[in-house]
Amino acid sequence: MFVVVTDINLVCAKEVAAALEQRNCRAEALAMDVSRAADVETVVNDVAVRHGQLDFIFNNAAVAAVGELRDGNIEDFRRVVDVNLFVVVHGTMAAYRVMLRQGFGHIINVSSVTGFMPGPILSAYSTTKWAIIGFSLGLRAEASELGVKVSVACPGLVQTSIPDRSAYWNVNKEDYLNWLPWRNHMLPAAEAARAILRGVERNREIIVFPFSARVAWRLSRLCPSIFNPLFRRTLRSFRALRLKP
């Protein structure tokens, strides 16, 4: 197995690649701005040529804009869409062309539990995660008879650096992080990766984890309004953090 780790931050990519090497997995790190479609296509094609094939691509990048939409702005909203949604589109389209030529491959796009239930306070983020699920499931139907598999991963809260890359609308970052419900129950990134790989191995259409997220997913499908009282309580609590009324 050979893993290519890409990130706009080459130092971080090298750290991940080095950790893989220590586990007897051959790996390399490449700097790539996934918001640039041409750059993504160049790297994907180069990897496929150098290694003879492209078996998997994991499209995962995200930022957020935290706060109520009434306090937001179009610039932050657009940035969230560009990073969260179009990064997935760029990676998918580049890999899909390669995989169609070779007749096999598996595309894994990372969404979130906020992609199948309302996301107040994270409206821009939730918008992109809903879109990723729809995009991935539509492509899975198109690709199923062409030899290419497509899965979408929908994790619950995972320990990542997203809070450091996010915009905050009329709320202090530290106040929000201290208030954040379930902040002590976030999954370590390594555990999330293992859950995604288990789903990929089984060719799951939608990979939802942990167990609490699967329960929420099923309940929201049975009764879409079931969480509305919880959202109202959450919003009332959050509004105490707003810097300006």
Active-site positions read 125
DSSP bridge partners of 158:
187
Residue 71: partners with Cβ closer than 8 Å, 6 or more residues away? 169, 170, 171, 242
Preceding amide of 224 cis, omega within 30: no
Rounded to the nearest angstrom, the gap between the alpha carbon of residue 5 and the centroid of all alpha carbons in its chain is 16
Rounded to a whole number of angstroms, the distance between the first and last alpha carbons of the chain is 55
Distances (CA, A) of 70 to 67, 106, 114, 184, 211: 8, 40, 20, 29, 33
**Cα separation, 161 vs 175, whole angstroms:** 17
For 134, other C-beta atoms within 10 Å of its C-beta total 12
The two tokens of residue 62 are 């995200």
**Cα separation, 187 vs 211, whole angstroms:** 12
